[in-house]
Amino acid sequence: MKILHTGDIHLREYEDKRWKALKSLIKIGKKERVDIFIIAGDLFDKGVSAEHLRGKIRGLFSNLVFKIYLLPGNHDKDAYKHGLNFGNDVKILRQEPCDIETIRIIGLPFEEIGGEDILEKINSLKTKLRKDGKNILIFHGELLDTFYSRTDFGEEGDKRYMPVRLKYFEDLNIDYILGGHFHTNFDVRELKNGCYFVYPGSPISITKRETGRRMINIFEVDHPPSEYHLDTPYFEDVEIKLDPFKDEEPIKKLKEELKTLPKNAKILLKVKGYYNARSVGLNETMLIEKIREICIDRSGGEPELEFRDIQTILEDDLFKEFLKKLNGKGYDNTMQKEMRNIAIRAMMKEMS
């Protein structure tokens, strides 16, 4: 039995980038011949998006070669009212388990609960789990055992969202916990009982914090979770540090960096350090204009341009005073140049 596991697509509009990302996942499911396609919450960005797109979703999620299981997340928990149809091949995961051959799939939909209420909810699963075969739990919420920041779960603010710990599941006969809500990257935890807890990350960058190539989880039951790399749009941090001692051309360095990135990567650019405006023939204003021109089709946001012209140090009164004293020490040219460069680097570091 082969499973594709994703979540947090946050659909808003028909045929936008997120919709196209979902369509690409359907194609991957067909190509990889999966039997089960699981979306672990937040297929829609909000209930109104679900209402707007449900007709289109029905067409996309019908007459497939696999079954789709949708779990309500914190963004779309009110979208799945009884009687609504999301496609012929769709099953909404609520409270009752679903059996496919020897596999039982159980949903833990998002609820506004925490603490002992969550423990009670998890303990109630014991009566629903199979004693033979495999048990797979679909969960949408926070795992507290990790060092995630609040921003790793999207733009959720400081509120807790159905927080759990791995130890809550260690006494349960569960083989896989397929999670949603964590956006940033693919993450797998193995419990003491051999169960895998998996966050696949969002399959398309929803916020600028979700950097790096996007992934989903495709695996065969009885095998560990497995990363599957996507070609969907994503953000990539690009930091360029200029060094006036390396005789670098900033524009050439930026172009070379961009060549290494695929076209579906939108860059979050930061340029820092110092360059020699006289040697490259571009003052700061001209260089900024050139950078913006090069990045106009690749930019994922306003670039952070923190570089400076080295002339600001060379023309500094403190540096000029240092040179006067250095020239009076009688050092040879090699030693003078070395000490001059040490002083420049020290001032670069101090002024950064």
Q: Give the integer Cα–Cα distance in Å for 38 and 34.
A: 10
Q: Give the count of beta carbons closer than 10 Å to the beta carbon of residue 150.
A: 13
Please count the structural domains in the chain.
Answer: 3
Q: What is the 3-state secondary structure (H, E, C) of the chain?
A: CEEEEECCCCECCCCCHHHHHHHHHHHHHHHCCCCEEEECCCCECCHHHHHHHHHHHHHHCCCCCCEEEECCCCCCCCCCCCCCCCCCCEEECCCCCEEECCEEEEEECCCCCCCHHHHHHHHHHHHCCCCCCEEEEEEECCECCCCCCHHHHCCCCCCCCCCECHHHHCCCCCCEEEEECCCCCCEEEECCCCCEEEECCCCCCCCCCCECCCEEEEEECCCCCCEEECCCCEEEEEEEEECHHHCCCHHHHHHHHHHCCCCCEEEEEEEEEEECHHHHCCCHHHHHHHHHHHHCCCECCCCEECCEECHHHHCCHHHHHHHHHHHCCCCCHHHHHHHHHHHHHHHHHHHC
pLDDT cut 70: percent of the chain above it: 96
The pair of three-digit structure tokens given for residue 277, joined into one six-digit string: 């405006």
In this prediction, residue 350 carries a pLDDT of 83
95 in the same domain as 31: yes
In this prediction, residue 156 carries a pLDDT of 57
User: Across all residues in the chain, what is the average pLDDT?
Assistant: 93
**Comparing C-alpha atoms, which of 233, 203, 207 is closest to residue 218?**
203
273 in the same domain as 349: no
How does pLDDT run across 241-280, given as a tens digit for each residue?
999 998 789 999 999 999 999 999 999 999 999 999 999 9
Q: Give the integer Cα–Cα distance in Å for 3 and 203.
A: 16
In this prediction, residue 264 carries a pLDDT of 95
130 in the same domain as 21: yes
185 in the same domain as 107: yes
Low-confidence ranges of the chain (pLDDT < 70): 147-159
336 in the same domain as 306: no
Last residue of a domain, one of 178, 212, 229: 229
How does pLDDT run across 73-108, given as a tens digit for each residue?
999 999 999 999 999 999 999 879 999 999 999 999
In this prediction, residue 149 carries a pLDDT of 57
Q: Domain limits at 299?
A: 234-310
305 in the same domain as 160: no
- Evaluate whether 59 touches 90 at the Cβ level (below 8 Å): no
188 in the same domain as 86: yes
296 in the same domain as 338: no
152 in the same domain as 67: yes
CA-CA distances (angstroms) from residue 284 to 129, 163, 274, 279, 307? 65, 49, 10, 13, 8
